[in-house]
Amino acid sequence: MTIALPARACGIDFGTSNSTVGWLRPDSDILIPLEDGKVTLPSVIFFNVEERRPVYGRLALHEYLEGYEGRLMRSLKSLLGSKLLKSETSILGSALPFKDLLGLFLGTLKSRAEATAGREFDSVVLGRPVYFVDDDETADREAQDTLVAVAQKLGFKDISFQFEPIAAAFDYERTLNQEELVLIVDIGGGTSDFSLVRLSPERRQLADRQSDILATGGVHIGGTDFDKQLSLQGVMPLFGYGSLMKSQALMPTSHFINLATWHTINTVYSQKAQLALKDMRYDAQDTAGMDRLFKLIEQRAGHWLAIQVENSKIELTHADRLNLNLSHIEKDLSAELTRPLFEESIAQLLARIQASVNQLLASAGVSHEQINTVFYTGGSSGIPALRHSIDQLLPQARKAEGDQFGSIGSGLAIEAFKRYG
C-alpha cells in the first residue's frame, strides 16, 4: 500500500509472548523498533527489588536470569478473561491490581513507539484473538472492555479492534497478484485463531472488507499451552508429578500445573501452597522428587524452569531430542526430551485445533478442496506436528509463511490507516 503522508493512528499487537506496534508511513518499514533496534518487545515485566523499578522485554528476562532479586511477570495477555484480572498481587511490597500491570506494559509499548516515531498517537487499532475466552461471551466481552479502559487511561481517544488473523490476512494480501481463498492460521502464545478470507489485489483498496471475511473462529490454545504440556510430561515427573501417595492414589496435580503455567507460577511460592506441599510430602512415596520441588521453590526458579522448557520446545522444532540441563536446581539433574514425547504431550491440543478448523469451514459452507492457500503466522505456527495436523486437513492447498511475529502488527497498521486516515 502506497501512501503520501504518515498515518494518524497506529496498530498494536499485544501478544502473549511478544508484542509489536505498526505505523504506516511513506517509504518506510511498517513495524516500529521497540527495543535495541528490534521490532518485537517480549511481553515481560521484571520488578527489580534492588533498584525499585520495572524493566521490560529482553532486559527484563536478562535481569531475571542474571539473578537480580525481584519478580518476573510474563504472559500478561493471559490475564484477560481470567478471574485474576479482578484481583491484585504484591509488587515491591505494595498491592498492585493485575489490570494496572496491563497498563504498565501497554503504556511502555505506546511510549516507546511514540519516542521512535517522534509523535504522539491518540488513535489505535488493537488486535484481539477471535475468542479471549472459549464459550463464554460475557467473559470475552469483559476482556475487550478491560483493554478499552486501559487504552483510554493511557491517552488513546479513538480505540477499535480487529481480529488478529484478519490483520494477518491484510498483511499477506500485499503480496498477492491474483484472487485467493485463504485460511489464515495464527498460532500465538495464548490462542489459535483462524479466518477464512477472500483476498485479491483489487479488494486491497476497499475500505469495507466485511463481505470478504467468510468466517472466523479459534480456540484458547497456544504456545504457552504447548510449553505446559511439555513441562508436565517431560520435566515435572522429576519433581514428583505423576507419582503415587502411600495410599496408592496419584499425587495431587494442581501445584505442578500452576508451576508449569506462566501466569500462575508465583502462586506456588505462597505460604499456603508450601504448607500444602509439605503435607503432601509426608504421604508421598517419591520423597526425592518432592525434595527437588522444595529446592526449586526455595530458589524461586519456576520462571527459570519455564524459560528452559520454552527454549526446549523451540529446539525440538528442529531437533529430534535434547538433554535439558537442570543442574541449576540440583547437581547433575537433567531431563531427556524428545520430539515424540513432545508431540504425544500435545496430541489432544492438536486434535482440538483440527476440530476448530473443521468447524470454521463447515460454518462458512466451504469445502476443504476450495481453499487455495493456508497462511501460517504466529510464534508457535512452526511446530512440525501442528503444521502436519493442518496439512492433513488441506493437502491440496498451497502453504504460505508470514512473519511469525510481525504479520499481525503490520496488518493492524494497515487497518488503522483505513479507519483513521
**pLDDT single digits (tens) 67-103:** 888 888 888 898 888 877 788 888 888 888 889 999 9
Which pLDDT belongs to residue 232?
98
Place 2 in a pLDDT band, splitting at 50, 70 and 90.
low
Amino acid at 218: G
Separation between Cα atoms, residue 187 and residue 222, nearest integer Å? 6
Which pLDDT belongs to residue 61?
93
Amino acid at 332: D
- pLDDT surpassing 90 at residue 47: yes
Pairing assessment for the beta strands 192-199 and 180-187 based on DSSP bridges? antiparallel
At 125, list the grid cell. Answer: 487499532
Instruction: Give CA separation, 42 vs 16, 57, 58, 408, in Å.
Output: 9, 4, 6, 15
At 410, list the grid cell. Answer: 503490520
* Lookup result for grid cell 502506497: 2
Which pLDDT belongs to residue 125?
97
Q: What three-state secondary structure class fits 81?
A: coil
For the chain, give the mean pLDDT. 93
Pairing assessment for the beta strands 398-401 and 334-338 based on DSSP bridges? unpaired
Structural contact between residues 8 and 123, judged by C-beta atoms closer than 8 angstroms: yes
Place 210 in a pLDDT band, splitting at 50, 70 and 90.
confident
Structural contact between residues 381 and 387, judged by C-beta atoms closer than 8 angstroms: yes
- Kindly tell me the burial class for residue 181, based on how many C-beta atoms sit within 10 Å of its own C-beta (0-12, 13-18, 19 or more): middle
Separation between Cα atoms, residue 21 and residue 108, nearest integer Å? 11
Which pLDDT belongs to residue 262?
87
pLDDT digits 0-9 by tens, 122-154 = 999 999 998 888 878 898 999 999 999 999 999
pLDDT digits 0-9 by tens, 247-266 = 999 999 999 999 999 888 98
Which pLDDT belongs to residue 52?
86
- Residue 375 CB coordination number (10 Å): 28
Place 313 in a pLDDT band, splitting at 50, 70 and 90.
very high
- pLDDT surpassing 80 at residue 4: no
pLDDT digits 0-9 by tens, 333-376 = 999 999 999 999 999 999 999 999 999 999 999 999 999 999 99
**What crossing angle do the helices spanning 302-315 and 57-65 adopt, rounded to 10°?**
120
Separation between Cα atoms, residue 278 and residue 93, nearest integer Å? 26
Query: Which domains are assigned to the chain?
Result: 176-400 (3.30.420.40)
